[in-house]
Structure formats: structure tokens, C-alpha cells
Structure 1
Amino acid sequence: MRTKLGLIHTSATLVPIFQELVTRYLGDKDIEIFNIVDDSLIKNTIKQNKLTPDTARRVSDYIGSAEQAGADFIMVTCSSIGPAVEASELLTSIPVLRVDRPMADKAVKIGTKIGVIATLETTLEPTSDLVSRRAKAVGKDIEIFSVCCQGAFEALMGGDAAIHDQIVAEALKGLSDKVDVILLAQASMARVVDQLGASDKRVPILASPPIAMEYLAEIL
């Protein structure tokens, strides 16, 4: 029987990225996907510098809409609105996944000193909190090193991807000396990892989209 997977995004640029990942990781399964996109969710979160109750309610509404559209499984692909995703699980009769949860679980398995890196505080805090709670769930003591790459997001929004990548790369290099594993709180930073030399990749660096797809491939 065909499985219907609903993907909820806060940017239209994520649609083709996740389409490619679905093809790569779930191509051998009978799966139909559909996308819901609303970039005002992340724009409002950045503007308010936090996930507001109003935005959280709208996230919940979209999850409910995906269920009504016939989804058998829902994944929300933005880490900044992760807490709203978790709150919505209790209101939904089908499985709902925040994209960074499998990544957090993998990091907890790898080590005890865990780095979390982001270009936005609104993404850094919820990802760090998720890692802390997932470690507690399995009874593991960890230490979290959180780093926000100041100026990187502004550079990217201003069209200077090179400056963004330089700031993120320097932060990754510095953090790798202190931790066992690094989590990228934003998947947009993954391309910077590909630019690093082998000597700069001293610890595993995890990005949420492919790990989430590996998880879905196991359970669907």
C-alpha cells in the first residue's frame, strides 16, 4: 500500500532539496509526497527573535492540514519551529517528525561533548535544547558547546555567500578541537563542510536532512 508523506517547509528552496533526498533514500519504496510551504513562519520567527505562540499555532494548523490531506507521516523540515512540531504531536493521530530529531539522537550516540552550530539564535537554542532532552531520555550525561556564527546569516541574505561560508568554516574548525561531534542546526551550512580540507574534519559533522531521510527509510 502506498505511503503518503507530507513535508512542511518554511522556504520554497527546500522543496527540490527534499525531493532529491526522497528519491535517493526512499526511491525503492512506494511513497507519494506532497509539500506545504509558508516562508512567513521563519520570517516571523526571525523578526521576533523567537517562536511566538501565534506562529506555533499556525505550524500546528499546517500539520493538521497535512493530516486532513491524507498524509500517513508528516515531517517538518525547519529546525527553528521544532518546539511547535513537538507540541503538535499530541494533536495529531499520525506520526509527526521534526527534521533534526534523528540527527540529535545520532549525535548523542556518538559522543558526550556535542557541538551545535548555527547562523541564527532562533535556530541554535531549540536545537541545543533538543539535544539536551534526547540525551536525558536515554540517561546520558553530555556537554553542549553552542556557537552562533555572528554575521554569517546577514552576509548570506546580502548576497555574499563567500563571507557566510568563511565565517561558518572558521567556526567549524574552532569547534572541532573541543567536541566529539558537531551538529549543523541549519542544513544550509552543509555545503561549507564540503569545502573543508580533510585535516579540518577532525570530528563527524552532521546535517539533519540526510539523517532524517535515513531514519524514514528504516521505519516507512
Structure 2
Amino acid sequence: MTLSPRIALIHATRVAIEPVETAAASLWPEAETISILEEGLSVDRSKASDLSKELSDRIKALSQYAQAAHADGILFTCSAFGTAIAQANAQTGIPVMNPNEAMFDAALSQGERIAMIYTFQPAATGMEEEFRETAAARGSAAQITSYFCEGALDAKRSGDNDRHNQLIARTAAEIEGADVILLAQFSMAGAAEAVRSAVAIPVLTSPESAIREIRRRIEAK
């Protein structure tokens, strides 16, 4: 391990970088973070109906690169590569986390009716499967319902953060019968305050939950 713990943050889109770097600086300022951006992953994933072997191999290669860069732990920030990240974790000698698992654990403590808002369409199916696996492993009967917020990611990419946040808050306000709302993508974390102002139930984001958990795993090693 380096003098300061080093976390490799691996991104498939640049809009995920700032939220998780902010969370890391706040929750684990002693750690050193390095960001690795491979935007081709999100571009190619958006064109594929399934997570291909070629994309999975690229995820594994990024994990190996981060380990060669002396990372003590790896956190992927894109929600559309869950199974590939799990495979990388099994083959890497350091903790490798997908972006959702810590948030899912936190959601299960809030109730059994889970609502998830997402802005990147290819992410939904994989995240729902991961949630069901997490719930089953915890002995929970919780169910997840997903809501796509159209136009929010385009607004974020164009730099219109206010519109991004407003669209997500509007989607949240229309949700009924949920115990908790999850904001699926790391890039959505900036909308949390607007969403919390629009609803009366807990709202969870990925970056803070993930940083707390990667810290726990690295320190445990």
C-alpha cells in the first residue's frame, strides 16, 4: 500500500467524475484518488443490447491497469457494467466495487418499496438484477421499480445542471407508494437536494455510499 491509500476511480463518462471526487474529498480526505476515464465504454454500451464479452474484457483490462498503478482499491462509477465488474473483483487482488452495491444495502434498511430514477437507459436492467440479488442475499422481500428521466443526461452533458436537477426532481415528485428513492447514476448526485425538496421520503445517491464502503474494505485489508 502507498503511504496514503490510493483509490482508482474508473469512469465511462466524464459527468461522473466530479460527484465522486467531491465525495472522496469530503469523506476520506486522507486518501489519494486517481481518475481513469474511458468514454468509449458508455458510447459502445449504449449501442449494445447486452454486455458483450469485448466490453467485459475492457473492464477487466482497466482493473488490471489500475492495479498496476498501485491502487489499493478500485471503484467503477458507471452503472451499466455490473457483471463485468464482479468478474474483475474475483480476479483482482484488491477490492473492486461496482457503483451500486453500497447504495442498495442502505436502501434495504429503509423499507421494501424501492424506487430508482435513472438517466442512462442501458443501466436499468443490470441494476435491477443486482438489486434483486442483493435483496435475496440479505433475505429481504424488497421490490424495485425504475423510472427513466428522459432528457436529464443530455442536459447534464451540455452543462445545464439546473435543468438536469429539475427534470429528476419532477420525476421524483410523480412517484407514489415508495419508501425510498435511489438516484442511479453517479452523475445524478447533484440533483439530490432538489429531489429531497420535492419528496418526503429518503433519497440516496451512489457516490457517498460507495466511498464509505470502499474505505471500509481497504482499511479492513
Q: TM-score range by the shorter chain?
A: 0.7 to 0.9
Q: TM-score, normalised by structure 2?
A: 0.86
Aligned residue for 1:115, secondary structure, equals: strand
* Rounded Cα–Cα distance in structure 2 between residues aligned with 1:137 and 1:202: 29
* Rounded Cα–Cα distance in structure 2 between residues aligned with 1:111 and 1:2: 37
Aligned residue for 1:140, secondary structure, equals: coil
- Residue identity (%): 27
Aligned residue for 2:71, secondary structure, equals: coil
* Rounded Cα–Cα distance in structure 2 between residues aligned with 1:159 and 1:24: 23
* Rounded Cα–Cα distance in structure 1 between residues aligned with 2:161 and 2:201: 24
- Give 1:149's aligned amino acid: C
- Give 1:205's aligned amino acid: V
Query: Contact 2:15–2:187 at 8 Å: present in 1 too?
Result: no
User: What do residues 50-75 of structure 1 show as CA deviations (whole Å, max 9, x unaligned)?
Assistant: 43221111011100111122222111
Aligned CA distance change for structure 1 residues 192 and 51 (closer, same or farther; 3 Å): same
* Rounded Cα–Cα distance in structure 1 between residues aligned with 2:94 and 2:76: 13
* Rounded Cα–Cα distance in structure 2 between residues aligned with 1:114 and 1:61: 34
Q: Report how far residue 205 of structure 1 moved.
A: 0.9
Partner of 2:100: 100
- Give 1:109's aligned amino acid: S
Aligned pairs (5 A) from 1:52-91: 52-91=52-91
Count of residues in Structure 1 that have an aligned counterpart in Structure 2: 216
Is 1:5 the counterpart of 2:4? The answer is no
Partner of 1:203: 201
* Rounded Cα–Cα distance in structure 2 between residues aligned with 1:147 and 1:179: 12
Unaligned 5+ runs, structure 2: none
Aligned residue for 1:111, secondary structure, equals: coil
- Give 2:181's aligned amino acid: I
Query: Contact 2:8–2:73 at 8 Å: present in 1 too?
Result: yes
Q: Report how far residue 145 of structure 1 moved.
A: 1.2
* Rounded Cα–Cα distance in structure 1 between residues aligned with 2:160 and 2:26: 30
Aligned pairs (5 A) from 1:38-53: 38-53=38-53
Query: Contact 2:97–2:214 at 8 Å: present in 1 too?
Result: no
Unaligned 5+ runs, structure 1: none
Q: Report how far residue 86 of structure 1 moved.
A: 0.9
Is 1:22 the counterpart of 2:21? The answer is no
* Rounded Cα–Cα distance in structure 1 between residues aligned with 2:45 and 2:64: 20
Aligned CA distance change for structure 1 residues 15 and 168 (closer, same or farther; 3 Å): closer
Structure with the bigger RCO (C-alpha within 8 Å, sep 6+) is: 2
* Rounded Cα–Cα distance in structure 1 between residues aligned with 2:125 and 2:5: 33
Detail structure 1 runs of 4+ shifted over 4 Å in the superposition.
Answer: 154-164
User: What do residues 65-98 of structure 1 show as CA deviations (whole Å, max 9, x unaligned)?
Assistant: 1112222211111111222111211211111111
* Rounded Cα–Cα distance in structure 2 between residues aligned with 1:53 and 1:17: 29
Query: Contact 1:66–1:74 at 8 Å: present in 2 too?
Result: yes
* Rounded Cα–Cα distance in structure 1 between residues aligned with 2:215 and 2:48: 36
- Give 2:180's aligned amino acid: V
Query: Cα RMSD (Å) of the superposition?
Result: 2.2
* Rounded Cα–Cα distance in structure 2 between residues aligned with 1:158 and 1:37: 18
